[in-house]
Amino acid sequence: MLRKYLITFVSVFLPTLCLAGPGDWYHLKTSEFEIDGPNGYSSFRKAIEDFGGILKAYKPRKAKVKNRKFEPRGPAGVPRISFDAEPEVKGWFDPTLTVRGDIFKSNINCHQWKSALPHLEKIGIALDLDLSDSEAVVREQASILRLEFCYQKNHDDSLSISARAFMQEGNDYGRVAGPISVQFLRNQVDPLLKALKSVAEQKR
């Protein structure tokens, strides 16, 4: 029993304790995936603007999500997604997290990336999900969820993508609520990327 507890603590909670302080960035994970041709690049560019479609296709991992809502122009003047989430955390309480994310898009330089893809385009795309209007237990742990995309156009008109996910620590990272919120965000990176890929494939 003790061994099982220690394994759970090390694999789930210990990484979140390495966060240095408010405003610091923490790398969640790196993933690579491909959007098949034809029109892999144009399908990706269309999909990454379809936040409502991504939210609809999103299938959460280790959580139940309800009350999904997409606003093309939210209070911040940019697209907003919102939903209520119930993370599945064994041995702890089961909080409901109200997540509101204002989406800001920008360009990034991909030439400094370390990637298995040899021919990345110079300019990539970053999506910042600003969580500052989320429920306090969320925004105090994580202020921004950031997804970065660098990509390589292939000869068969497909698109190979290298994606990185980061989290910016909030102002009041807690010993219990913090790990739950951070682990919830980490668990959602792959489902969000799968949702993006699904939307892109629909737009080919």
Task: Say how many domains are in the chain.
Answer: 1
pLDDT interval class at 179 (50, 70, 90):
confident
Give the separation between CA 146 and CA 30, rounded to whole angstroms. Answer: 12
More confident position, 129 or 135: 129
Across residues 167-194, what is the average pLDDT? 82
pLDDT confidence of residue 15: 43
pLDDT interval class at 91 (50, 70, 90):
low
pLDDT interval class at 8 (50, 70, 90):
very low
Cα dist from 86 to 97, 113, 196, whole Å: 6, 35, 22
More confident position, 178 or 148: 148
Domain with 135 in it: 2-202
Is the pLDDT confidence value at 92 over 70? no
Question: Of the ranges 17-31, 69-83, 118-132, which one carries the lowest mean pLDDT score?
Answer: 17-31
pLDDT confidence of residue 90: 57
Proportion of the chain above pLDDT 90, given as a percent: 55
Please answer whether residues 60 and 84 qualify as being in contact, where contact means their C-beta atoms are separated by less than 8 angstroms. no
The residues, ordered by sequence, that sit 6+ positions from 146 with a Cβ below 8 Å of its Cβ are 25, 126, 127, 128, 129, 165, 166, 167, 168
Across residues 112-126, what is the average pLDDT? 87
Give the separation between CA 49 and CA 101, rounded to whole angstroms. Answer: 15
pTM over cut 0.75? yes
Q: Residue 134: which CATH number? A: 3.30.530.20
- Sign of the Cα torsion 10, 14, 16, 18 reads negative
Residue 91's Cβ-count burial label (10 Å; 0-12, 13-18, 19+) is exposed
Please answer whether residues 19 and 26 qualify as being in contact, where contact means their C-beta atoms are separated by less than 8 angstroms. yes
Question: Of the ranges 44-53, 159-168, 177-186, which one carries the lowest mean pLDDT score?
Answer: 177-186
Across residues 70-77, what is the average pLDDT? 96
How many CB atoms sit inside 10 A of residue 35's CB? 24
pLDDT confidence of residue 186: 86
Of 189, 190, 188, nearest in space to 88 by CA? 188
Is the pLDDT confidence value at 184 over 60? yes
pLDDT confidence of residue 2: 37
Average pLDDT across the chain, whole number: 84
Q: Which residue has the tokens 């993508």?
A: 161
